[in-house]
Every structure is written in C-alpha cells, then in structure tokens.
Amino acid sequence: MRLAFLLTALLVAYGAHVRYAGYVYEDGHWTHPAALVRWNTRPLMQLSMLWARTYPQVHHAINLSLHAVVVALLGLLAYRLGLSRDGAWFAAALFSVHPLNSQAVAYLSARPELFAAIGVLGACLAVTWQSPYRWPLVVLALTFGLAGKESAIVALMLVPLTLATLRQRQLAGYALLASVLIALTGIQAYGGLYALINRGESSAWHGILASEWARIQLASTSRLLGQAVWPDALTVDPDVYLHIGITSGLGAAAVVVLASCAWTQRHTRPLLTYGLAWTLISLAPRYLIQTPRTALTEHQVYVPMMGLVLAFASLWDDRKGSIDGDTKESGR
C-alpha cells in the first residue's frame, strides 16, 4: 500500500515530464558526442549517457529511477536510525515529492547529484549494519558516490555522524570534530580562493572578494532554506544580488539557528539533531567547491535537503507517537 502510494506520487509528480520533456539548458554539454569521449571527473554520468544516447525520455526515466532509489535508501536509513515505520515512510514520501528536489530529478545535467546521493546514503546505511562487511561496503558506496560527483565527499563526515547517532553517544566529541573539519574547510576555502578565482572561466572573475563570495552563498542558502519550507519561487537562475545585504544576513542567521537547534536538542531529540547536522555538514563544502560568482542552486541542495526532511519527519514521528500514546492511555 505504502509502496503503491510512493510510486503513484512519483508518477503524478514526474510522469508527464518524463514523457514530454526534451533536452534543456546545459544538457547539450552531456549529449554532445564529444562529451562522451572526453576525460571527465564524473564517469558514472558519462557512462549513463553512453548507455542511452538518443531519446530524452529514456534519460528522464533514468533520472526518475535514480531518484526512486535515493528515496528507498533514505526511508531505509530513517528506519534504521530509529524512526517508526510510519515515520520512515513519511520521510521517504516527503523527499520523493518535495518541489525543491525537482531540479535534481527533472534536469538531466543534475544526474551526478543523484549518483552522489546514492553513494552518500549507501555509505551511511552500510554503517548501520552489524556485519563484518560493513566497512568494505562503506568504501564501495563512497567510491560509487565519488564516481558520480565529487560532492559525495561529505560522506566522510556523515558516516561518523550516523555511527554516533546510532550508538546514542554524546555528540559533543563528534560536534567538535565536525567543527574542526568545517573550520579547516573554511580556512582552505579562504586561502584557496585566489587560486580558485584564477581558474575561472574568464578574466572577468578577477577581483571578486572573499566576502562577496561568502555573501552570495549565504544569500543563496537563505533562499534555498526558504524554498524548502515554502517552495513558491523555484527557478534555474535566481537573482541573488537583489537585496543581498538582507538575504545574506538571513542566510547567516538561519545557519546559526539550525546549528543552535541541533546542539540544544541533542539529548532530547537525537534524530532532529542528526537531520540538522546532516544539512549543515553537507552544505558546508558547497561554500568551498562552488565556482566563484555562481550561487548555490536547487539541485546542489539535494543531499542537504535529506537532513531537513529527516529532521521534520522525526518531529512528526514524535508527535504521532505521543498522540498514539495519549489515545491508548485514555482508552484504558
């Protein structure tokens, strides 16, 4: 029943798109014959394009299938982490049809994000199994993710987070480690910014300040978190410069609020902490690897979005559990 609902929801949301959509925006880069033989850091994407070269419908169906795999893995991870069956199902269902994920699914060029998500979730799921093969499986999943997209590197921080949450350990030590890693990432980002800028696509990239770069990404973070809650202005090309002073301030405030919530709820609601920490950790490297002058886009928050969904589903599950408990009490 639940599976049928999930499949129906996916088909209602994306069925017409799979049937009628063509190649758009930068898809031509991947569908061009030259792209298929050129060395690329995303071999899984290249292989998948080789496999089904001609029809856009086939490519859109592949994207939707990969998204379905991600949804299944997320539901399984939620269950393994301690959510009830209903809670895990709700997490999977919400992620499957959340509009913020539509760019990652509907845009063919965003397929590497789906591969990376499978790798990250696979690694986190593998670590929850009590099996001697779990670490080789973690490595295998991570390798798969990295072959999809370099952003799968966040699994290196998400796997220990999963382990810490699963064993109900105090998260303080882990939070310290994560903070150090994030700080190092930040320092590297700042230090490497000049080199990064000079690798840019045109000489016009010169002259960007690190502070401006940070403001662009914070403004984008604020927009994307807003769209996660109220997805009414999804777009391929947002105007992040409009009111950037306010939006970047809101972005910084949102990050601080999420981190504070994660910290204060670590004992009472470990899964809420897990979800919020997942979001922040998987978002952090985005500030480093983002091409200067380009803002975070919707498909790039596909993995961070999982954390928000898990956090929300854990709250829903708690609420449902308490109502069920109350009803049983009053029934006695």
Partner 1 sequence: MSKRDVPALAALFLLAWCMLLTHQAAEAWRSNVMLWTQAVAVAPSKPRPAQNLGVSLMLDGQVSLGVRYLLLADRLAQLPHVPQIDKLETEDKARGNIRALLAGVMR
Residues forming the site for partner 1 (CB under 8 A): 9, 12-14, 16-17, 20-22, 24-25, 86, 90, 93-94, 97-99, 101-103, 105-107, 202, 204-205, 208, 231-239, 241-242, 244, 293, 316, 319-320, 323-324, 326-327
For the chain, how long is the longest CA-to-CA vector? 75
Q: Residue 199 or 267: which CB sits closer to partner 1?
A: 199
- State the nearest-atom distance from the C-beta of 125 to partner 1, in Å: 23
Residue 291 DSSP class: P
- Would the CA dihedral through 180, 309, 294, 217 be positive or negative? negative
Q: Which is nearer to partner 1, 25 or 55 (CB)?
A: 25
Q: How far is the CB of 212 from partner 1 (least distance, A)?
A: 8
Residues 6+ apart with CB under 8 A from 192: 288
Task: Pick the closer one to partner 1 by CB: 21 or 255.
Answer: 21
CB of 1: closest distance to partner 1 in angstroms?
13
- DSSP H helices in the chain: 2-20, 27-31, 33-37, 43-51, 56-80, 85-97, 102-106, 111-126, 134-148, 155-166, 172-198, 210-229, 244-264, 270-283, 286-289, 302-331
Distance of CA 290 to the CA centre of its chain: 15
User: CB-wise, 157 or 197, nearer to partner 1?
Assistant: 197
Task: Work out how close the CB of 106 gets to partner 1 at its nearest, in angstroms, rounded to a whole number.
Answer: 4
Q: Which tokens hold the place of 131?
A: 């099996």
Is the CB of 90 or the CB of 274 nearer to partner 1?
90
Please state the closest distance from residue 78 (CB atom) to partner 1, in A.
14
